[in-house]
Structure 1
């Protein structure tokens, strides 16, 4: 298979870069130093998908794959595990977590597959909590959504959207009442955000994605405001609040 040959070539290239005759920069890297690059490459994959730029997606997936190979090479040098171990691990994981496909057990719905997946992970990995598998470093909105999904799969959830909305209203009132100390305001504001994410989940809304979309929408509109101000020969810091609002509405 050509893919196998190309993949083996990538592994060889990384081993060469890490060798004594290799690249000084690559030789200096550690698992810890590569973390920012791994995160950056993952976000660039997301951006290519959002823009439906398939040529760019091909390139960005390659960059992300390089991060996997890089970490595996470091682990090989440290005698922790090899690239082969990584691939075999995910092969076995996918087979184990899909018994309805590979072991020809009963057919399951998508919801049942998700619930079965969580049960298998909890048993196999010896987790005491269903939440242990959620990375602590996830973006907070995404983390709140995953927490809701995990506990919801176990039945710990609101039954109706209206019930979640009432919880949001409750948290809003608690925030309004919590104005004594900064710590109280922060705690109640956090509770409100968490409740909003859960409401969004019940509305089939990805909170991380829609906030990203809102930020993009605001940024593009603000850029039009900046251009309009420049076209008028003005400086933003010299414009009144009224002028800025008028331009903001104009470029809407």
Structure 2
């Protein structure tokens, strides 16, 4: 459970300026003790457990991805107890990678923490320097400009190649918008959606599979862009629909089982009765 929110003094992150307390709050000392406990356990497991001793960064990679998705599920379900547990799993992986890095003398957990601290300070000159910003959009634009100054040749370098396509489309559009490559109004984006839909329909009529796929991709990309203008996260929206559909279909399956019927033997009209029931649940 996420028990409190802490607002830290930007100049001295270790000094609390204000806090909202719910059920309980661990002191900074307790937080550091808990983290030290995790580091100690990781040392012990790496030394004594056959499975942990065998792991490499490569062997952990797919497990890390899985844990990240499980955290995403918990967040979408708004299950804060599960969020707490899944955050622990993700944190374990961070500590695990850092332990392996220390063994090869490349980096350790202190290097990891200091690197992100330095990055955050450098990327927030409106907090740690004299840069003035008006709103969050200014912050995002400055962020991308600072990344280019750090040596990146493209604002798109920060988009992981292995991201799912829908998430990647959203990140690409978000990043290019950060440097001014964007539409001015949402109606312009919707006009682009309609344009892409018409082009897709034309290719469907022609029956060229490759052209259809290309145009369908353009439709999805333009819809993601429109969602961004409406402040909708397309990945979250689609996943909510996936969950909604799955829940209704499972209700349909359960009802068919109660009637001792196989779905394959039911008509669409029969299934639709239960589907409508499921929508009211």
In the alignment of these two chains, the number of paired residues is 249
| Correspondent of 1:8 among 33, 36, 59 | 36
Distance 1:175 1:107 in 2: 42
Show the counterpart of 1:182: 209
Show the counterpart of 2:271: 244
Show the counterpart of 2:20: none
The 5 Å alignment of 1:52-63 reads: 52-63=78-89
1:80 aligns with 2:103: no
The C-alpha deviation readout for 1:216-251, integer Å capped at 9, x for no partner, is 111111111112212222111211233223332343
Distance 2:158 2:278 in 1: 45
| Native 8 Å contact 2:67 2:86 kept in 1 | yes
| Correspondent of 2:181 among 129, 150, 156 | 156
Q: CA deviation at 1:159?
A: 1.3
Q: Which runs of 5+ in 1 are unaligned?
A: none
Distance 1:229 1:10 in 2: 49
| Correspondent of 2:190 among 152, 165, 182 | 165
Q: TM (normalized to structure 1)? A: 0.92
Task: Name which of structure 1's ranges 29-38 and 5-14 shifts more when overlaid on structure 2.
Answer: 5-14
Show the counterpart of 2:139: 113
The 5 Å alignment of 1:142-153 reads: 142-153=167-178
Show the counterpart of 2:4: none
The C-alpha deviation readout for 1:103-152, integer Å capped at 9, x for no partner, is 2543542111111111112211x111111111111222111111111111
The 5 Å alignment of 1:31-50 reads: 31-50=57-76
Change (3 A) 1:213 1:151: same
Show the counterpart of 1:234: 261
Distance 1:204 1:107 in 2: 21
| Correspondent of 1:222 among 240, 243, 249 | 249
The 5 Å alignment of 1:191-202 reads: 191-202=218-229
1:67 aligns with 2:93: yes
Change (3 A) 1:170 1:107: closer
| Native 8 Å contact 2:102 2:108 kept in 1 | yes
Across the aligned residues of Structure 1 and Structure 2, the Cα RMSD in angstroms comes to: 1.6
| Native 8 Å contact 1:100 1:108 kept in 2 | no
Show the counterpart of 2:3: none
| Native 8 Å contact 1:141 1:208 kept in 2 | yes
Change (3 A) 1:25 1:242: same
